[in-house]
Structure formats: C-alpha cells, structure tokens
Structure 1
C-alpha cells in the first residue's frame, strides 16, 4: 500500500528500539531496565515475534526496495535464540493478485515451516468466502483465534477459541484476537463482527482466571482504535496491529510508555519482537526490537524453493481468461486518458465504484498504462493495465472537496499530467482555455447538480487520497476503508471483468472537453490557435486535442488558408509554390509554408514581401530552395518568421499545425 501520511502524520516512531518499562496494572515493576539482547540468568525470558499482511509468499519489490517473503521471515525467526511465540496478525488471503488466485493456502503451508504458533483473522481472509476461510482453518496446524468473530449460532467463528494462553519458560502469555472492517469483504451471515472493545473485555475476563503474566491483543484495525482499546481495557499490555505503512514500522507508547501499540511494515516487511522477562521475584519487564525483513536477510532455502514454485504457478494462472472483451479499449496512443473521457477509464472507475458501492469513484489517468485488447481478458491483462498495485480506499467527502479534486485533475492537461480524473457516478465539463482553478463546470452527481455541502462516498487510490499528484484536498475527509483493509486496483478490475463475463464499455459523455487540452496558457501559439478555432477556421483533430506539433499536409494547408482568407482560393501562385493542394499524405515543409505565407501577406497588405536580396540571416540558409529563399528572407525581415535553436531555419522539416496557425492568424490581423 502507499504511505498513509494523512492518517498517521501525528504518530511517533521510536528512534530507539530497545526500551524497557514496567507493565501496567498488577505487574511488578523492576528498578533497572535490561537490554533486549542481554541474558536473564536469574529468571525467565520469552520473545513474542509478530508479523502480518502475508499476502505474498515471495519478497515484494517496488520503489521502496525489496522486503518480506516467507523465506526471510523464517530466517529472522530462527535467528532469535530465546524461547519464542510466533504470532501472525491476519490477512494471508485476498488483498493482492497472489492472494486472490491462491486464496491463502500457500501461506498456510509456509507458516508450518516457520513455524507460526497463533494467528488472528484479517478481513481479507474472507475475500474468497466463508467456506474458504473454514478450509484455511482446517488446513492449519497453528492455532487460529478470534474474540469478536462469531458464526450464525453466536459461537466463535469456525469453532476457534476466543483466547489462548501459551506458557514458555514459566511465563504465561494470554492472547486475544480482534478483527474489524468486515464490511469490506464478502458478506455472509455465517460470520459476524461483534463490537471490538466489548468482545475484548469479555475475552480478557476469561483470561484472568488463568493467571497470565502478560496479555496481548492481535488486532486488525487502525492504531487510533487500538489506543482506544487500551484505554477501555487496561488489562491489555500490548497490541500488535495491522500495518500503517510499507516503508517503516511504528511503535506507539501509551500510558507514559507503560503499554504499546506495535505496527510492523506491510507485506511482511518486518517482525516486531517483544521480549518478556520475569525475574525470580515474579517481576515482569518488557523490551522490544524491530527485525527488518529486507534484502540483507538471507532466504531460508526450503521456503525460497516453495515460494518459487508458487510464483511459477501464478505465472500460469495469470494467463487464464476471466472475461471476454467485446471491443478493444484503448488507453490512448496520444494519452487520451490524461485529458478526456475514455471507455477504459470509465470501466476502471466503474470497477472501483461497483465493488464498494460508493456514490463516486475516481481513477487517475496516469495510472492506466495499457489497453484492453478485444477477445480474451486475463489476470495478466488487468495487471498490465494497472501495474502499480495501488490500494483503492473509500472516504466520505463533501462536494467542495470533489470540486477541488476535479479542478486539480484538469490543471495539467496541457502537459498530459497523470492527475487527470476518469470518473464514475459523476459527470463534468471543463474548458482548457480557462485559467487553472476555473476550468470545471456543470458537475452532476446522480443526475443532479453537485452540492458543496453534501457528503458523498468516494472510492479512489490511496496514492491520491494521501496527497499524490497534488490531491491535498482530502485532509479532513473521513476514512471509511483504509489502505490496510482495501484491495488493489488491478484485483478489483479483474473481479469486475469476471463478474461481467462479457465486457462492453463505451464513452458516454461523463466528461465534456471545451478548448484544446494540448495548447495551454504557456504555449507560444495559444492566441492564434484559440482565435482560429473560435472563428471556425481551424479545427482540432479530436475532442480536446489540437495536435500542435503534428505535421501539416498540402490539402490541410489549402483548406485552412482559404477558410481564413477566401480571396486566396484561386491565386495563381499556389502552383508556383510547388505542391498539390489535394495531397493528403505528404507534409508541407517549413520553406513551403514560408512561400505561401509571403504571398498571403502580399494579398493582405498589397505590399511587396519577397526579398530582392534573398539573404535570410539563418545559419542553414544554404539548404533553402533558391526559388523559395526570397519568401523566407522577406518574412524574416517582416518579423513574422522565426528560426529554430542555433539560428537555423530547418527548411526541409515539416511545418506544424501550431506554426500554420501562428502565421495565418498574424497575417489575417494585419
């Protein structure tokens, strides 16, 4: 997932990873702290090793580097010499392409090798359905627990215990498991989520009769809720929770450092190690460390081989057909998805909105990197279209935020910026000729004008939600489905395609473009292009696109010139210039454009323009056709003709549509 800077900006990451503190409640404090690596000759010691977010059996490689992988987790677990309890926090199925294809079973197999002792459920463990979750439980040799998930009979889901007590080295560790965000996975009456805090209180009450030395909670919820859990249930000494970010681990101190909330890196990027020590007098002390599963950690050979085998199977699965495309959906040879509505953009945004049932959905055009070909559509195709694997989150936003987002999306259309929004559940008009911040109008949601004070649910990538591409307007939005609970973009697209079976998508007027997105306020020919277009003299090549750098054909030049200056239609000099006015495949050269422009200027001003001397002043004037050199020299003297860098004229290069518009407009206004 992408960095959750908005949600966790206030979180304090401890720079010192070895901190020893007395436990809260009835646990006896000690006078002097012990370092995590020190021996405890007079008492007992056990390490609790925790990791979560196990969607991928192999290491993940992205812009943050390489991290995770079951083989590295195994190496780190083996490196800890203490007696240990290995706990997994949830999400070993769903959430990614690998998890969606194999539904968690490779991770269960890998966890047997590590080995894992106890596991909590994440909501993604139900993405493939309740039956699959039950099969995962049956396949596991480690113990699943849940304190707040129950079946339709009101008993713990899958008949797993609501708590366990594990004793190592005479230290009794009580463990409970708590899961939230079940509304973001498959709905099924056979699994229900009970309120987290109330369920935790009941589980802890049962635990206390077994006299644990330490009580920990494995949770799947945001750290802010974990802090509320600690405030409501003081008997819990530490919470091991879901990932807050891919690039770092978090340690939050509570009650002046007497209790903790631990959050490891996503994609099994680290292990949180909690060292519990008990002295001869029964006093308990805690210290903690973070073990990073990065590229410096050697992979366990047996698990590395297992991961490679499953990756090979995944490659085979990627080629399986999930739907049939009725027609090709182009993402845009000219980057159309970055400045106008496209059918593929509609399809992607619809996939997000359909999965979460939101009012609106946004998909940034820059994230669309391939077309969907006609015919068979595979998982590999979905990944090629959306290669970044962004998480699609859900937020409650007001209409003003939506309007600001739309304005931001069209602010860089002249640069074909990736921020441009493909949309679902909403339509809008934008005028590329207007100033940035004032381009969007006629915004409709559900067939009615948008209201600035209305609240809408919005599905979008976590990249945008946390400020990427300058989408900073969501700071005060309310998160409904965060990155920890969300599914990836290509996974949602593949699921939507599979649901549709036959995909038939068209552009349907969600976005209307006025003006030319590729001729912005900073373009040197903007005035000429806009004036000629407004008078109907020169048209764009498609909606929102003028193609200023495209070459001009003789037929196009004749059509444009005679539209702007009808008096030139039957001029005898057309033949003298040396090209066929009906030619639609060849390109007009810059020296030919100069020859036409010189004659037009003479028509307009009734004054001679062709230079008798024929000296152009350009460094490459020797390359100019001698018959056309007087026209080039005359226009240069007149100030209407400019060269290229290095005082070159480049006479044989193709004249562009922008150059034609600039020359013609300046002649017409003489």
Structure 2
C-alpha cells in the first residue's frame, strides 16, 4: 500500500518540476523557479540552558556493510564508534544521506531488506532516499520503509496522480528539551539516474522550493535547530546542489549531504549553514558537535573518523620475549657415575642423553673421565619484531550476528536456478582479458536489452568466472560478476567509442583487464599497428559505419564510466540513465530469455 503524506496544493502550484532527462538549465525551468516565493524569516525557539547535540552521519555506502580492501570500515565498527559517542552524550542522532540499500550482492539478494535489518540495529533516526535507493522500484522502497525503525524523508518526491508527497517531508525530534527539525530532499537527477520505470509514478520537484516550505512549517511548530538530510551533492555538474540549498534556503543550520561522493573533512561553511559529507563506502564516519546556546546562538564543528582510525593501524615493534631453549652442557663423568644417576640428578631423561651422545651404545658402560653433553632446557630473553594493530575499535557483536545470519539466508537464494546452458560460458581470466568470449557477448547483449542503448561496452577484467554446462544458479552469476558494479548509459561521440576501443585492445595479444566486450557493433583491428592506431573499422548492427562525429548512447559499467581501466574517453560524459547491477541484469536476462548466445560471434576480431 502506498504511503501518502498531504501537502498544500497551493504550494504545489508554485513548485518547479525538473525535466526528467535534463541536466542543463532550461528557459522554462528558470521561468518556473521565478514563481517560487522567497522564504519568510525563520524564527527558532531558544533553549532554557546551553545544550550539546551530536550528529553522526554516513552517505553513499552503496550496500558495503563489511570492511574490505576497497570498501570502508564496515557497519559493525560504525555501530561501535557511534555507541562510544552515545556513552558520553545522551543527545546523539544518527543520519544517512542516501544511496544506502543497493550496490552489492549482499544487498541485492534481498532487494535491500538486509541493509534495513542492519540499520535497524544501529538506531538510525532518518535517511534521505538517494537515486540508487530507487533501484528496486518505488513500490519496493515503500515496502522497505514499513520495515524501518527510522524515517525516510523527502520533501520533493511527489505522486503524479494526486501531488501528495511519497515520503514525509520532515520530522521534529524532541531530545533533552530541544526540538530538532530534520527535513529531507532527494536529487531530481533520480529521474534518469535510476531506471525510469522505477520512478514513473512520481515527480522529483524543485528541492529548493520544498525545503523552504518545510523550514517554514517547522518554524511554525517551534524548533531550536534545523538539519537537512540531502542527497544532492556539491558537484558543479549538478543543477541542484546542497550549496544552492544552503545559499537559497534560510534557516537550515546543518546539511548532511550525499550523492557527489565528496569527502569534506571539516565540512563546508556556506553562510550560516554547514555542509558535511563523508565520501563513500563508509570509508569515513561523520561527526558534528553542535552547541545550541540559551542566547540563541549556535556553533558546529565537523570531523571525520576514518577507516584507518576505526580499524587501527599496523606497525612493527621490537619486543622482548622469554623463550625456552635447549643448550648442550659439557659433563665429565666421575668415577662411579651411572647414566641413570646422571639422568636423575640433572632431571634429563636417559633417552634424551643417549640421543645427544652417539658414543653411548650401552647405558651401563660409561667410563670415568669420558665427556658427555647434557641437553639442558633454559629460559632466555630474546628480542623479536612483532606486528601489532594499534588503535581501532572492535566490531559490534549484534551487527555481526545480523550480518552472519543474513549471509546464511543469502546462501539459500544463491542456490536458486535461473536458467540452463548447453555449453560452457567462458569467463576464464586468460580468455576474457585477451579476446571475445560467449559469456562476454551474453553480458553485453543483456546490457543492451535492459537499457535500450545504441551500444554496449564492458571490460573483460570485470568477468571473474565461467559458468559450466548445466543449470545456472544465482550464485554462478554472482561468481561471474562479484563486484556489484551497476550499468550506466552515457552520451558519447563515435570518436569517444574509437578511443575507448583503442584503449581496450592496446595490449593485444597480451591479456589485459581492459579488453573490450561489446554489443551493437563489430570491431576489426590490426594488432601489428602501434597501440592506439589499431582500430580498422567499427560497423554498427544496422550496417552503418560508426561516425566519429555522431552522438551515441553507450551502456557501460560505473567503473569504466569514471575512467576505470584507463577508459579516459568515457570519463565525465553526460549520464542518460543508471540501472541495476551487472549480475542482476545478466541473471534477469537469462531468466527471461535463456542463454541466447553460445559462441564468440566476431564482435571484436583481429584482421590477421
């Protein structure tokens, strides 16, 4: 059942609607924004005595609940750090600025519910929905909202049908005699930075206008301090940013931001508003210490707790240790000695003495003035170099128990059969990094089928396993694509495509992770030419030659879209759409269509 939160229709008439696929300011948009009234003066209540408030925050974790080489500190350490702050202060609020419930296999297998379960153990207060939080669809996000022990806040997400807001615009949290107003905004870029089908029932309206209305409404209800949880970011390429929010909306004291993956170590002060953001993948945990004073003044200090601090650093130290060593002492046999007497008096077994003295053949025949060696154990102090973890915090056991339980449940899902193949789908490292394979072709075909783009391109290094002949299980697909990379459609020129292909084949015939797997085109290249001069021709599936000056839509993965594997020609391009993760798209394609490609088809081929 859809949740609907009422909103004044008179305000809706004043709100500008961001065009679904536009990233540039249009004349119509400017005209609509001119209709938005400026904010009235925001009055805030004064506290009776000086108060201290702490805001802890994360953003853009993208389902990274456990620590990893390229990931953050993990939610179990986040919980410990937050709890440590709570021990010393009762007034602590934990907030999340979005892009939280999607991005890893761990998250996708339960369509986000696993992340919600963990967040529920951490005592979150509220989150703003990021564009990727809609990747399972609006209906699923609303289902997950019902399972949350915290609020989803978004003042600018409205149903097309009736203009009501899909989520609460704001809440007022009462804590220690203070009223803390918390409003939420989502980026209007969500209209094209998730699959459009996921958000077809809603409109992402002007966040500046809706934030002004929320601030004014909270002011009327009486608040001491206002926080915006914002998935807008600070990138200059975005039309709506948290910087604009701070500049144009009076009364917001703090913006807990996300979306741009920006690390703001001590925050960014814009007028009277402090903007904070932690980067991404819980590599940092944000902390804002806030003083709310009885004279009406406030001040805030932002800081970050890094992954290195949370996990501790390793260092080599020299330590002294007591060790037991065996020393061979010389012993001269005296008249009347027997081996048993020597063994008894020196507390050394006869067998040990005999083993250390080859000349003893018969223990009853030993002679005075002969020499023996007696293996004697002694304790000595030695110096050793030891690697220690210095600092860091322990993992919260409740969070770890939840993660481990979910892992067991996920194993049931990975065993589900999604299809069947009569041939082995080749994802072997030496193959996908040096040439076209049937698995690479199937993956790029699935990418085109999902997105409707003109062309598809992915890197062989992202394909990590083969799928053997027989039934295909969900876990098999995850083994092929384990990184949680999602599909992005970007606008490129034909020359950008050629430059990308040149990058991918530059090391051929040597294996390289950048080797291109494609659909929508056939590529011929000459391997004896110098690198970056090897592409001979690129022919589209409709028979036309690729036009270097023409614009095309390209489906690729998010890693390559930001220049990964040296795909520099794809970096910084206009985003036309963002979709599910590669393993979700491939799994869904096989479930619906079967294995439609069983051989390499000459999509990328050498002319020699």
Normalization by structure 1: what TM-score?
Answer: 0.64
Matched with 2:333 is none
Q: How does 1:266-415 map to 2 (within 5 A)?
A: 266-292=280-306, 294-295=310-311, 296-332=392-428, 335-415=430-510
Partners in 2 of 1:368 and 1:445 — Cα distance?
A: 24
Q: How many residues align?
A: 471
* 1:227 maps to 2:227: no
Change over 3 Å in CA distance of 1:57–1:437 after alignment to 2: closer
* 1:74 maps to 2:79: yes
* 1:51 maps to 2:58: yes
Partners in 2 of 1:263 and 1:326 — Cα distance?
A: 49
1:195 Cα offset (Å): 3.1
Matched with 1:102 is 110
1:346 Cα offset (Å): 1.2
Matched with 2:268 is 253
1:204 Cα offset (Å): 2.8
Q: How does 1:449-528 map to 2 (within 5 A)?
A: 449-480=545-576, 487-515=580-608
1:109 Cα offset (Å): 2.9
Matched residue SS, 1:414: coil
Matched with 2:218 is 207
Matched residue SS, 1:167: strand
1:49 Cα offset (Å): 1.6
CA contact (8 A) 2:451 2:555 kept: yes
Partners in 2 of 1:166 and 1:494 — Cα distance?
A: 43
Matched residue SS, 2:68: strand
Residue among 152, 167, 181 paired with 1:144 = 152
CA contact (8 A) 1:166 1:173 kept: yes
Partners in 1 of 2:126 and 2:232 — Cα distance?
A: 18
1:429 Cα offset (Å): 1.0
Change over 3 Å in CA distance of 1:264–1:442 after alignment to 2: same
Matched with 1:644 is none
Change over 3 Å in CA distance of 1:122–1:403 after alignment to 2: same
Partners in 1 of 2:100 and 2:482 — Cα distance?
A: 21
Structure 2: gaps (5+ residues): 1-40, 236-240, 312-391
1:431 Cα offset (Å): 0.8
Partners in 1 of 2:164 and 2:142 — Cα distance?
A: 12
* 1:198 maps to 2:203: no
CA contact (8 A) 2:135 2:580 kept: no
CA contact (8 A) 1:323 1:503 kept: no
Partners in 1 of 2:514 and 2:73 — Cα distance?
A: 29
CA contact (8 A) 2:432 2:460 kept: yes
1:446 Cα offset (Å): 4.8
Partners in 1 of 2:216 and 2:280 — Cα distance?
A: 32
CA contact (8 A) 1:433 1:514 kept: no
1:154 Cα offset (Å): 3.1
Q: How does 1:571-586 map to 2 (within 5 A)?
A: none
1:121 Cα offset (Å): 1.8
Partners in 2 of 1:197 and 1:445 — Cα distance?
A: 44
Change over 3 Å in CA distance of 1:420–1:440 after alignment to 2: same
Query: Mean alpha-carbon deviation: is it higher for 293-302 or for 313-322?
Result: 293-302
Matched with 1:114 is 122
* 1:418 maps to 2:513: yes
CA contact (8 A) 2:212 2:250 kept: no
Partners in 1 of 2:580 and 2:106 — Cα distance?
A: 12
CA contact (8 A) 1:325 1:503 kept: no
CA offsets 1:115-155 (integer angstroms, 9 cap, x no match) = 11222223333333333322222222322222111234435
Change over 3 Å in CA distance of 1:347–1:275 after alignment to 2: same
Partners in 2 of 1:176 and 1:94 — Cα distance?
A: 22
CA contact (8 A) 1:368 1:385 kept: yes
Partners in 1 of 2:424 and 2:222 — Cα distance?
A: 65
1:277 Cα offset (Å): 0.9
CA contact (8 A) 1:58 1:308 kept: no
Partners in 1 of 2:497 and 2:119 — Cα distance?
A: 44
CA contact (8 A) 2:99 2:259 kept: no
Partners in 1 of 2:273 and 2:598 — Cα distance?
A: 54
CA contact (8 A) 1:68 1:270 kept: no
Partners in 2 of 1:503 and 1:450 — Cα distance?
A: 25
* 1:134 maps to 2:142: yes
1:105 Cα offset (Å): 2.4
Partners in 1 of 2:495 and 2:233 — Cα distance?
A: 27
Matched with 2:536 is 441
Partners in 2 of 1:234 and 1:462 — Cα distance?
A: 36
Matched with 1:576 is none
Partners in 2 of 1:254 and 1:177 — Cα distance?
A: 19
1:404 Cα offset (Å): 0.9
Matched residue SS, 1:490: helix
Residue among 162, 175, 180 paired with 2:169 = 162
Matched with 1:650 is none
CA contact (8 A) 1:366 1:418 kept: yes
Matched with 2:340 is none
Partners in 2 of 1:310 and 1:229 — Cα distance?
A: 38
1:209 Cα offset (Å): 2.3
Structure 1: gaps (5+ residues): 1-24, 29-39, 516-670
1:405 Cα offset (Å): 0.9
Partners in 2 of 1:325 and 1:261 — Cα distance?
A: 52
CA offsets 1:476-528 (integer angstroms, 9 cap, x no match) = 522445xxx6643333322333333454444333223112xxxxxxxxxxxxx
Partners in 1 of 2:519 and 2:425 — Cα distance?
A: 17
1:419 Cα offset (Å): 1.5
Normalization by structure 2: what TM-score?
Answer: 0.70
CA contact (8 A) 1:251 1:260 kept: no
Partners in 1 of 2:555 and 2:208 — Cα distance?
A: 28
CA RMSD of aligned residues (A): 3.0
CA contact (8 A) 2:562 2:572 kept: no
Partners in 1 of 2:401 and 2:428 — Cα distance?
A: 41
